[in-house]
Structure 1
Amino acid sequence: MEQQASEVILASQAALTQASRLAVDYSFSILGALLLLGLGWWLSALVSRWTHAGLLRLRGFDETLARFFANVVRYAALILVFVTVLGQFGVQTASIIAALGAAGLAIGLALQGTLQNIAAGIMLLVLRPFRVGEYIETGAITGTVVEIGLFATELRTPDGLYRLAPNSILWNVPITNFSRHQTRRAELKVNIDNSDKIDEAEAILRAQAEADPRVLTELGVSTHVEQLAGSGVVLTLWYWTRSSEFGRTSQDLMKAVKTTLDRSGITRAPA
């Protein structure tokens, strides 16, 4: 009986000693892991800020794109720290990396459409076919750009409506940017009667355009015969103006040309 009691005591002491040793070993491992996590979190945030600031120093680099790459760097650093911490506890990091790769592949396949929008958003931000505040037109989308995101682009239509366009749609179609260049050529077509003098009508059109201060006469004002129709002659006036004044200038010039032609006795033929 005494022998059994002694064996129990010895076994308990051995277990206690082993538990104490494990507690000491794992306490240092846990403490080291916590320190490593804290240091990794701080360094990842620091590197992210450095990346963001460094990219913004590049001329013309977009704020949204800089923030995106800064976040990518931060999360990549955090994943590296997490894998390193698990390695401190004897976990096979190669298996973790393989599992993360498989998970990334599965997520990529599941979010294929979303990733296409992200890739298109990055290309739009890098190549900049349009910027915020510019008026663009694609096959089915027209409006002023309000915000360019990684997933979609926000626009405001000419009638004041809100429109959200996925970036993959904008990237895969031709884009016409009406605001990119500061100047823009406009044209005005006028039908006159066959009995009217072409030279006189062309002179009136050029004079009317040159009299408008918004018309950039240094870039040229010209007229030509566009078409000889059965009901009359189609004249075309070409002139240049600033892109920001294009619409209003065209409207005012059409009204002024109509008034001047009527006063000159030139008959406008039906279209």
Structure 2
Amino acid sequence: MEQQASDFVVATQAALAQLSALAVQYSFSILGAIILLIIGWVASGLLSRWARQGMGRIHGIDATLAQFFSNIIRYAVLVIVIVMVLGQFGVQTASILAALGAIGLAIGLALQGTLQNIAAGIMLLVLRPFRVGEYIDTGSVNGTVQEIGLFATELKTYDGLYRLAPNSLLWNVPVTNYSRLSTRMHDFKVGIAYEDDIDKALGILLDLANREERILKDPPPSAFVMELGDNAVVLALRYWANSSVWWMTSRDMTKRTKEAFDAAGISIPFPQVTYHAAEKDEKTDGRPPLNLV
């Protein structure tokens, strides 16, 4: 009995010694992990803030893009810190990194369309083919840009409708921006009858353009014969105007041209067809002859 009691005491003392050693070892590991977490949390916030402020000073970097990249930097630092904390407790970090890579690949495949929109959104925010307030047309999507996000772009159509377009639809197609350049050319075409005076009509068009204040004088407007159509001689008035007033200027010029041509006696013909009736054949009583084989 005394021998068993002595063995029990020795085993207990050995177990307590091991527990003490483990407690000391893991206490340092826990303390180190807490310190790493605190330092990592503070460092991630500082790096994120510095990155956002630095990109904000760069001309052409959108605030949304700066916020996106700053968040990526913060989360990347936090992931590194967590891996280091797990390494403090003897966890194999190589397997964790491999697992994170596999998870990232699976998420990327599952969210392929979403990631494509994010990539397109980043390119739109960096290259800026259009900005907020500009009117664009891609053939399938058109409207005034209201907001450019990482996933989609908000637009307002000319008739006051809200439209949300995925960024991938705006990046992979040609985009026509009607508001980017300050001036814009217009070829105003109008047809006159073949019997009308061409020089007189051209003079009226140039006079209207020179008296219109919204039409730029440099380059000067020009009028010329564009084509000889089936029903009319097509004249063209080419002028430049500021993009902000281009639409209303073109509409007003259409109205004033019609009024000026009416006052000058110049007609604007409409498509018409002339029929020539053949003379009546007495032998066939006006009916076409029969071809008998």
Q: Give the TM-score, by structure 2 length.
A: 0.88
Q: Which amino acid counterpart does residue 39 of structure 1 have in structure 2? A: I
1:184-263 pair list within 5 angstroms: 184-263=184-263
In structure 2, what is the Cα distance between the partners aligned to 1:231 and 1:26? Answer: 96
Residue 59 (str. 1) matches residue 59 (str. 2): yes
Residue segments in structure 1 that go unaligned for 5+ positions in a row: none
Alpha-carbon distance in 1 for matches of 2:120, 2:146: 17
Range 20-29 or range 203-212, more displaced: 20-29
Deviations 1:36-63 (CA, angstroms, capped at 9, x unpaired): 1111011011011111111122221222
Secondary structure of 2:104's counterpart equals helix
1:159 and 1:134 map into 2 onto residues whose CA distance is: 15
Task: Using the TM superposition, give the Cα deviation of residue 13 of structure 1 relative to its aligned residue in structure 2, in angstroms.
Answer: 2.8
- The residue that corresponds to 2:38 in the other structure is 38
1:175 to partner: Cα distance:
0.7
CA distance in 2, matches of 1:41, 1:57: 25
Written as runs of structure 1 = structure 2, the 5 A alignment for 1:105-254 is 105-254=105-254
Amino acid at match of 1:122: I
Once residues 227 and 48 of structure 1 are traced to their aligned partners in structure 2, the CA distance between those partners, rounded to angstroms, is: 63
Structure 2 spans left out of the alignment, 5+ residues = 272-293
Q: How many aligned residue pairs are there?
A: 271
The equivalent residue for 2:13 is 13
Deviation of 1:244 (Å): 0.8
Give runs of aligned pairs for residues 93-112 of structure 1, distance below 5 A: 93-112=93-112
**Equivalents in 1 of 2:74, 2:220: separation in Å?**
55
Deviates more, 1:173-182 or 1:1-10: 1-10
Question: What's 2:281 paired with?
Answer: none
Deviation at 1:90, TM superposition (A): 1.0
Structure 1 residue 241, shift from structure 2 partner: 0.6
* Partner Cα separation in structure 2 for residue 84 and residue 231 of structure 1: 83
Q: Distance in 2 between matches of 1:25 and 1:166?
A: 54
CA RMSD of aligned residues (A): 1.4
Report the alpha carbon displacement of residue 230 of structure 1 after superposing the two structures with TM. Answer: 3.5
The residue identity in structure 2 corresponding to 1:195 is E
Percent identical among aligned pairs is 61
CA distances 1:159-205 after superposition (whole Å, capped 9, x unpaired): 11111111111111111110110000112111111111111111111
Q: Which moved more, 1:15-24 or 1:59-68?
A: 15-24
Report the TM-score, using the length of structure 1 for normalisation. 0.95
Residue 132 (structure 1) shift: 1.0
Q: Secondary structure at the match of 1:244?
A: coil
Q: Which amino acid aligns with 1:201?
A: A
Counting helix residues as a fraction of each chain, which structure ranks higher? 1
Alpha-carbon distance in 2 for matches of 1:193, 1:229: 10
Paired position in structure 2 for 1:267:
267
- Mark the structure with the bigger radius of gyration: 2
